A and B are shown apart, each in its own frame.
Chain A
Amino acid sequence: MKILLMGHPNVGKSVFFNRLTGAKVFESNYPGTTVDFMKGWMRLEREDVELIDVPGAFSLEPKDRAEEVAVKMLEENRDSVVVCVLDASKVERGLYLALEIIERGYPVVVALNMWDVAEDKNIRIDVEKLERILGVPVVPTIAISGEGFKELVSKIKDAAPVKIEKIIESVGAVSAAASTGEAQAQGGGESAAVS
């Protein structure tokens, strides 16, 4: 098993990589720091697992060299778990890539990184509900300070492939439940902010 770190440019993949492997990868506050992939080893359940820092990609239809490398990495490592790092303040954009990876049949763990930035922007994400809809583990993280990493690592083993039909179905189901539940609970208290 291998673990691939994927996500948009500048969402903090390299910070994840450094935290998880103790390796030396450049972290910079601008997109495109990692244009080549990087490999390292991390401890998972008393086993050494290979972790690959994949260059930032917006989607799996490559538009530049970095994205080409990203797609190639994904295709060459069919047996891997993908940790998809999302910018929590721009969830929708990140979900596009996450869904594409899920559709291709990879087990995925979603990290909602920059959770603090999202909080600053007054964006609240219902992590549990997102987890229920996607059917994959979702963990809020703040990579720079290391928050959420323990949980993230512990959830890697829970990742399993999900059929996209299932997600479409559960979105419908949740929305149906919400519309009935909202009348009772007035939809309040849903946004359990985790930090």
Chain B
Amino acid sequence: MKRKLKEVVKVPLSVDERWDLIEKISKQTVEFGAYKHTLKDAIAELTVKPLTGIPVAIAVIYGFWSFFCDFAGTLFTDGFMVKIFDEHWLPWLQSFFLGGLGNPFYALMVDAGHIEDGVLVASDNCFEAFGVLTSGLFIVFGVVLWAVLAFYLIFAILEDIGYLPRLAVLVDTVLHKIGLHGYAIVPTFLSLGCNVPGVTATRPLETRKQRFMMMTLLAIFVPCGAQIGIMQELVPELMGWIFLTLAIGYLGFGFILNKIVLGKSPELIMDVPPYQMPTLRNIGRKLWIRTSRFLLVAVPFVLLGSIIVGLMYLTGAMDWLAAVFGPLLMVWFGVPSETVAPLIAGFLRKDLAVGVLGGLMAQGIMTTFQVFTSVVLLCIYFPCLATFALMLKEENWKEILGSFASLVAMVFVYGGLIHLIGIMLGVA
């Protein structure tokens, strides 16, 4: 009788044969008992059904944001770091560092000072001073570190509970309108911490079109945690408008890209994992790995970047660039020619760029609307060097060129549009 079973088997099996075999195996070994509706299931359903899920999502994001501002901004940066840096570190350096005001090396390392009524005066805060040891260190350790820490703490908890895939299900319908899948929420959220892991997270997307679109949108419209932290410190009252502008850009240009980029956006089937209790061990470890990786990249880049910007000011290169690009910036985007400095810094790091902008703001040469436009421009005009390098690795040169072309087009169209709206509202 057993002989009969020994038919000729072709290896590999066809898909159907394999499923057939699996069915036979599972019939023998797996027993499905009555399904109990647990509390976990009830919670899971509440967070996915639109009627209850959307309020929950809003609450989660609001909670995220409040914690981010309170913990990073108010508690650490304003509570401790600003006092330490402005009241102790800066005056201490100013009192003993070689050279003194007006000396080029002193200007580069500690305080460039600024002209007030024709006289060069010392700065009284670390945004304005613009030395490597003052602004450079303040940006990284005074502001951005805490923002990144706060972001990754909440993010790790949401990740380990398993909330993100549910958010993906909720926003799926909206994102499908722009040719993306709900899963896009994962790279987008990750990018809010740092664009680099965000770009890596585009890999599960199936087609080149989806990956291309996702990367382009991330690189342009999603500000990283470092940048958000410093924007929140500098212009907290504008944050709502900035995020709204970026979100409109993300959806609007996603819609356009979806129409003009060739290729398909197939459905991506994603598992929604069961909710789990996060473990302290895993949260702690993730927080440690991510924060240390951040510091490893941020510290050298911010310090190097502030040296480069400082040297460009000292050698007059910045003035030259401002003279060359000034007319374009003023006429098209409606921002002063000095904005060229933060834009240069932004090629290296966005947090540094916003910091440089902070220095300009302190000089009082910009209107609120110009500050707003500049901050948005800093977000969208170019991905930082680390993100750009990764994109080069991920895509071929054709896609990079495509990304770059859409980037340039978007910056000019969107930047110009913001200026235009400003003119019509009478604020620009």
Contacts and interface: CB of A to CB of B under 8 A. Distances in A.
Contact of A171 (B18, B25, B32, B276): B25
Nearest to A129: B29
A104 to B, nearest CB: 8
B271 A26 contact: no
A9 B206 contact: no
A127 B28 CA distance: 11
A70 to B, nearest CB: 11
A134 B161 CA distance: 34
B12 A100 contact: yes
Nearest to A28: B159
B21 A168 contact: yes
Contact of A133 (B29, B35, B275): B29
Nearest to A103: B12
A20 B19 CA distance: 32
B315 interface: no
Contacts, number: 145
B366 interface: no
A65 B204 contact: yes
A26 B289 contact: yes
Contact of B203 (A35, A174, A175): A35
A159 interface: no
A165 B161 CA distance: 42
A133 B30 CA distance: 13
A169 interface: yes
Interface string B161-202: 110110000000000000000010010000000000000110
B274 A117 contact: yes
B395 to A, nearest CB: 11
A195 interface: no
Nearest to A190: B31
A122 B40 CA distance: 14
B38 A124 contact: no
A104 B2 CA distance: 26
A8 B273 CA distance: 12
A171 B282 contact: no
A104 B18 CA distance: 13
A82 to B, nearest CB: 16
A178 to B, nearest CB: 7
Interface in A17-44: 24, 26-32, 35-36
Interface in A70-88: none
A129 B201 CA distance: 39
Contacts of B289: 24, 26
Interface stretch (A46-54, A91-99, A147-155): A91-99
Contacts of A160: none
B108 interface: no
B398 interface: no
Contact of B286 (A26, A120, A173): A26
Interface string A108-148: 00000000010011111111011001100000000010000
Interface string B197-229: 000110111100001000000000000000000
B270 interface: yes
Contact of A99 (B13, B165, B206): B13
Nearest 3 pairs of A and B residues by beta carbon: A122-B33, A29-B162, A35-B203
14 contacts: A26-B289, A28-B159, A29-B161, A65-B204, A66-B203, A92-B22, A92-B23, A92-B26, A103-B13, A122-B34, A124-B31, A144-B276, A168-B5, A172-B2
Interface of A: 8-10, 24, 26-32, 35-36, 63-66, 91-92, 95-96, 99-100, 103-104, 117, 120-127, 129-130, 133-134, 144, 164-165, 167-169, 171-176, 178, 191
Interface of B: 1-2, 5-6, 9, 11-13, 18-19, 21-36, 38, 40, 159-162, 164-165, 183, 186, 200-201, 203-206, 211, 270-271, 273-276, 278-279, 282, 285-286, 289
